[in-house]
Amino acid sequence: MKIAIDGPAASGKTSLGKALAREFRLRFVETGKMYRAVALGFERGIQLADMEICVTEDERFLLNGQDVTAQLHTSALDQKSSQVAVLPEVRERLVELQREIANRHDVVMEGRDIGTVVLPDADVKIFLMATPHERASRRIQQRQSGDLDQVEQEIIVRDTRDSERAVAPLKPAADATIIQTSQKTLKEVISEASTLVRDLLEDVVWSAENRDS
Ligand code: DC
């Protein structure tokens, strides 16, 4: 089982991904944190060739053996990760790591290019959308700090960079289900997405039963 969740910054991918991983017993992989770890590595003067990024089963991110998970969600790294994500050599390295994980585990993987590039054969593809204003206010609630107009502006800058880059831009896969999350509670979004996964599982069981009978 492979579930791909894509969408712009602060659209609720992580909350949804964690909920689906729990419900369907899948490994959750947050690919944005890998780009953040690379940005942190560059900030520390490490060359890409000398960086080793590892993700542990309990979702810890290691940069050259050091657990940097707690340092990845800063507003400085919001922008820097989006800047390093335009570099083809960075994407190549991280896509390889993401596919390696998905080859070994059933996953729910979230990012910007999971349904289009990383796992084009994913069983379920979900693309989340919400207005920049709504996403900015969610981010402020989550981090318990920030000015609404400023955070909204930063989100728009990041959306534009992530969507307009030449390699693997942020966009829904042709076969993705788009879920508009503005005006919806997290519970409603989870319920919509988990229905998609359950429908798929029922189809699989139904086809197997018909094949065997
Ligand atoms: O999901 P996030 O905000 O942690 O992601 C940080 C940045 O990483 C995002 O602005 C763009 C980049 N990214 C990407 O290009 N491809 C992905 N699959 C995940 C993240």
The number of the ligand 1 atom at minimal distance from the alpha carbon of 86 is 15
> Residue 19: exposed, middle, or buried by beta-carbon count in 10 A (0-12, 13-18, 19+)?
buried
User: What pLDDT score was predicted for residue 130?
Assistant: 96
Which neighbouring-strand residues pair with 205? none
How far does residue 85's CA lie from ligand 1's centre (Å)? 7
* CB within 8 Å of 135: residues ≥ 6 apart: 8, 9, 10, 11, 152, 155
This prediction has a pTM of 0.95
User: What pLDDT score was predicted for residue 201?
Assistant: 85
Asked if residue 113 has its Cβ within 6 Å of ligand 1, the reply is: yes
Q: Going residue by residue through the chain, which has 213 residues, state the pLDDT in tens, using 9 for 90 and above.
A: 999 999 999 999 999 999 999 999 999 999 999 999 999 999 999 999 999 999 998 899 999 999 999 999 998 999 999 999 999 999 999 999 999 999 999 999 999 999 999 999 999 999 999 999 999 999 999 889 889 999 999 999 999 999 999 999 999 999 999 999 998 999 999 999 999 999 988 887 778 788 776
Sign for the CA dihedral angle at 8, 11, 12, 17 comes to: negative
Asked if residue 8 has its Cβ within 6 Å of ligand 1, the reply is: no
Helices (H), the chain: 13-24, 31-43, 75-84, 88-104, 132-143, 148-164, 186-212
Which of 160, 166, 144 shows the shortest CA–CA distance to 9?
A: 160
User: What pLDDT score was predicted for residue 203?
Assistant: 81
User: What pLDDT score was predicted for residue 204?
Assistant: 77
- Choose which residue among 5, 15, 16, 31 to substitute to test ligand 1 binding: the one with the highest number of ligand atoms within 8 A of its C-beta: 31
Sign for the CA dihedral angle at 17, 22, 27, 30 comes to: positive
How far does residue 84's CA lie from ligand 1's centre (Å)? 9
Asked if residue 11 has its Cβ within 6 Å of ligand 1, the reply is: no
CATH code of 12's domain: 3.40.50.300
- Choose which residue among 112, 117, 159 to substitute to test ligand 1 binding: the one with the highest number of ligand atoms within 8 A of its C-beta: 112
Asked if residue 111 has its Cβ within 6 Å of ligand 1, the reply is: yes
User: What pLDDT score was predicted for residue 57?
Assistant: 87
25-28 long-range contacts, CB within 8 A, separation 24+: 25/106, 26/1, 26/105, 26/106, 26/107, 26/108, 27/57, 27/101, 27/105, 27/106, 27/107, 27/108, 28/59, 28/107, 28/108, 28/109, 28/110
The domain of 106 spans: 4-212
How many domains are contained in the chain?
Answer: 1
